[in-house]
Amino acid sequence: MDLDESQAGIDELLAHFVTAALGLRLHGRILDPDKLPPEHRGCLIDSKGHARAWVAWHTDQGTVSACALYDREQSARMKANVLRISWWIGTRIHHDGWWHCYPKRPREWIKGCGK
């Protein structure tokens, strides 16, 4: 699967990231961006005004949303899924950074884009 072309693939990776790397329990998916807190809506559009891949859920820690940019070239070099992930938890916690995981271990995330 060419994940940078597949919204479903990125959604699945982000679900694994939120549960495994962030340790949150997902209670229900949020599909309507109007249901997101205003702070979370920055992930919907990239710096060029294009729609981005994003997902959001209700969790045991409040609303969480995440968006990702899939790095096709680095992923091919590493034979891993390399993503720049931005996420928000509630209204005050926001992080952004490079992460990667290997296709056979989608719940084991490593900080950084690899070498």
Pairing of strands 26-29, 62-70: unpaired
Q: Given the structure tokens 């699967």, which residue do they identify?
A: 1
The enclosing H or E element of 74 equals helix 72-78
Distant-in-sequence, close-in-space partners of 6: CB < 8 Å, separation ≥ 6: none
Report which residue type is found at 3: L
pLDDT the model gives residue 1? 43
- pTM score, whole prediction: 0.87
What's the chain's Rg over C-alpha atoms?
Answer: 13
Instruction: Specify the pLDDT at position 81.
Output: 94
Q: The tokens of 38 are what?
A: 């205003």
Query: Can you give the residue range of the structural domain that contains 100?
Result: 3-111
User: What residues in the chain have per-residue pLDDT under 70?
Assistant: 1-5, 47, 49-51
Q: Total domain count for the chain?
A: 1
